[in-house]
């Protein structure tokens, strides 16, 4: 009995230890980048020389790097602002269009019967499974072939092709959990299909729709591979911009930029999770 208890305790310690190690493994790199972004050492960020907010300041134009070692590696606030603006424009438009397409598709597939429905369903999930690099090349070939000039518009169209699948899946889950008698009740009370959609179906699946939008927004915001192929010269997004900066070495300004993106993603994800857990 006593031995059994001890054994149980040992296992419990081991399991907790394992859990702790796993979390460390997950979060240590993120912790390090946050730490580095506050390190004043401009040459070697792995050596701590003191706390500074300078790197953040360079992003917002609050500090000058003229004449310092990092001058050659630091991008101007104007340039950063431009690529951030590009990224947000793409993410907002791509996520909005995808949300409309994905939601409409999810509602149609959940409520209407038609020939080839299952095949269609499989086709919708496929863009998520196609390797990004293949999708990127395919889109590039398509845009060039169709005579599109690569720009923010092509990025938006490209993102919509696979983001719609994500929204479709998120909203479909919500549709599957919805009580179909609510829609019958609405029809029974004299509401046509459109009124029923706006006044009964949409409010019921709203958390899923917003969740799908936020997911699409975040994925669009940090997509590198596909965007790399379909971005034009004047249409750099933030991830592509950071990638370009990285070619000149990992500089402290990049860590500060990365932390800001991290915080933003974290906030969006939290909103998404809160909405998802909210009861219909």
185 or 244: CB nearest another protein: 185
* Helices 152-176 and 202-222, packing angle to 10 deg: 140
Out of 191, 224, 243, 268, the residue judged to bind another protein by CB under 8 A: 191
Q: Residue 196: which residues within 8 A CB-CB, separation 6 or more?
A: 183, 186, 187
Burial classification of residue 42, based on how many CB atoms lie within 10 Å of its CB (0-12 exposed, 13-18 middle, 19 or more buried): buried
* Structure token digits, residue 249: 């070495």
Q: Is 199 in the site for another protein (CB under 8 A)?
A: yes
* Structure token digits, residue 118: 């299952």
169 or 191: CB nearest another protein: 191
Q: Is 185 in the site for another protein (CB under 8 A)?
A: yes
Q: Is 186 in the site for another protein (CB under 8 A)?
A: yes
Give, as one character, the DSSP assignment of residue 116: T
Of residues 68, 64, 88, the one with CA closest to residue 77: 64
Of residues 113, 242, 124, the one with CA closest to residue 172: 124
Choose one: 49-57, 89-97, 174-182, 245-253; the region binding another protein (CB under 8 A). 174-182
How many residues line the site for another protein (CB under 8 A)? 20
Choose one: 100-108, 158-166, 175-183, 250-258; the region binding another protein (CB under 8 A). 175-183
Of residues 237, 262, 253, 276, the one with CA closest to residue 90: 237
Beta strands in 38-188, from DSSP E residues, in sequence order: none
Choose one: 71-79, 176-184, 223-231, 244-252; the region binding another protein (CB under 8 A). 176-184
Shortest distance (Å) from residue 105 CB to another protein: 23
Q: Is 177 in the site for another protein (CB under 8 A)?
A: no
Please give the residue ranges that form the binding site for another protein (CB under 8 A): 179, 181-182, 184-193, 195-196, 199-200, 203-204, 280
């Amino acid at each position: 009995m006593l031995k059994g208890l001890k054994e149980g305790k040992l296992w419990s310690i081991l399991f907790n230890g394992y859990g702790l190690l796993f979390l460390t493994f997950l979060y240590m790199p993120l912790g390090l980048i946050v730490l580095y972004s506050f390190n004043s050492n401009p040459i070697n960020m792995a050596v701590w020389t003191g706390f500074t907010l300078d790197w953040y300041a360079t992003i917002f134009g609050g500090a000058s790097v003229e004449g310092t070692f990092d001058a050659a590696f630091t991008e101007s606030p104007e340039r950063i602002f431009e690529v951030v603006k590009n990224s947000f424009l793409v993410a907002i438009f791509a996520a909005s269009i995808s949300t409309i397409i994905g939601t409409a598709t999810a509602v149609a597939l959940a409520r209407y019967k038609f020939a080839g429905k299952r095949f269609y369903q499989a086709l919708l999930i496929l863009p998520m499974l196609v390797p990004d690099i293949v999708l990127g090349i395919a889109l590039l070939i398509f845009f060039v072939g169709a005579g599109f000039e690569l720009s923010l518009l092509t990025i938006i169209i490209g993102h919509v092709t696979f983001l719609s699948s994500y929204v479709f899946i998120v909203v479909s889950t919500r549709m599957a959990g919805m009580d179909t008698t609510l829609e019958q009740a609405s029809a029974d009370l004299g509401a046509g299909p459109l009124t029923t959609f706006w006044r009964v179906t949409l409010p019921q699946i709203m958390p899923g729709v917003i969740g799908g939008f936020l997911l699409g927004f975040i994925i669009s915001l940090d997509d590198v591979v596909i965007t790399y192929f379909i971005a034009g010269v004047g249409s750099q997004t933030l991830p592509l911009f950071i990638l370009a900066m990285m070619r000149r070495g990992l500089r402290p300004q990049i860590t500060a930029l990365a932390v800001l993106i991290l915080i933003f993603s974290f906030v969006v994800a939290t909103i998404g999770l809160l909405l998802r857990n909210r009861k219909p």
